[in-house]
Structure 1
Amino acid sequence: MDWKDFMAETEANIGTLSKEVLETVRGFGMMGKAAKTDGALSEKTKEFIALGIAIATRCDSCIGFHVKSLVRLGATREELCEALSMATYMGGGPSFAYSAKALKAFDVFSEGD
């Protein structure tokens, strides 16, 4: 999988749908903003939680979005691998395969950083 191409296509598809369901997008955006706001947990910690859920639900686009956010937030490869260990532990074999995808996405999105 070419993560950059995959995410560009995903974002374009979401953009197209967003024009059709504006109120849903607004509500989803407000919910996301509220959920990601630093509080007792940092935004980075919350993104690690979201990545674990993305792996458990086997959502490639979700993995891409949350890995990109973690790169933006300065997550290290070591932090990511620890989170992927926990996701694999909780989800078994399928989560192991999707954790490997998440690590590849991290490496791709971290290029040049």
Structure 2
Amino acid sequence: MNTPVKFYPDITKDISAHTRTLRKEIPDVMAGFSAMAGAATRDGALDKKAKEFVALGIGISTRCDGCIGFHTEALIKLGATRAEFQEVLGMAIYMGGGPSLMYAAHAMAAWEQYGGAAE
């Protein structure tokens, strides 16, 4: 039996809708999270793209579909190449073993669903 392919644009759209609810209902927590995200992703010794690659690797290793979707989309917008993306998938597989291999395959599907270049 084949497992249906997850569609990452829908996953992130659904999460975003629920996040808007959280912003209204727990604004202090969400403002704190947004401030932390802004500080963590700001260009520094590493640029935004490098930081997004780190986040993608962590998302794969923790099996977080939302993380895969949001960080894949961000990487495409930041101009990541398919070769760069696949090298990060390789590192995530190496560090996380079989479970990371399964989620690296999900990340590749997300890349394609967001229209990432085929090279």
Amino acid across the alignment from 2:76: V
The answer for the alignment partner of 1:39 in structure 2 is 44
Q: Distance in 2 between matches of 1:43 and 1:107?
A: 21
Question: Shift of residue 110 of structure 1?
Answer: 2.0
Does the alignment pair 1:6 with 2:14?
no
Q: Structure 1 length normalisation: TM-score? A: 0.94
Q: After TM superposition, where is structure 1 displaced by more than 3 Å over at least 4 residues in a row?
A: none
Are the equivalent residues in 1 in contact too, given 2:61–2:100 (CA < 8 A)? yes
- Structure 2's unaligned 5+ residue stretches are 1-5
The answer for the alignment partner of 1:105 in structure 2 is 110
Amino acid across the alignment from 1:39: G
The structure carrying a bigger helix percent of its residues is 1
Higher relative contact order (CA 8 A, sep 6+): 2
Question: Shift of residue 2 of structure 1?
Answer: 1.8
Q: Which of these residues, 68, 73, 81, is aligned with residue 68 of structure 1?
A: 73
State how 1:17-28 maps to structure 2 within 5 Å: 17-28=22-33
Q: What SS does the aligned partner of 1:102 have? A: helix
Please list the CA deviations of residues 15-69 of structure 1 after superposition, one character each: whole Å capped at 9, or x if unmatched.
Answer: 1122111011111111111111111101100000011111111110011111111
Q: Give the superposed CA RMSD.
A: 1.3
Q: Structure 2 length normalisation: TM-score? A: 0.89
Q: Distance in 2 between matches of 1:46 and 1:31?
A: 14
- Structure 1's unaligned 5+ residue stretches are none
Corresponding residue pairs, total: 112
Q: Identical aligned pairs, as a percentage?
A: 49
Amino acid across the alignment from 1:12: A
Question: Shift of residue 111 of structure 1?
Answer: 5.6
Q: Distance in 1 between matches of 2:52 and 2:9?
A: 19
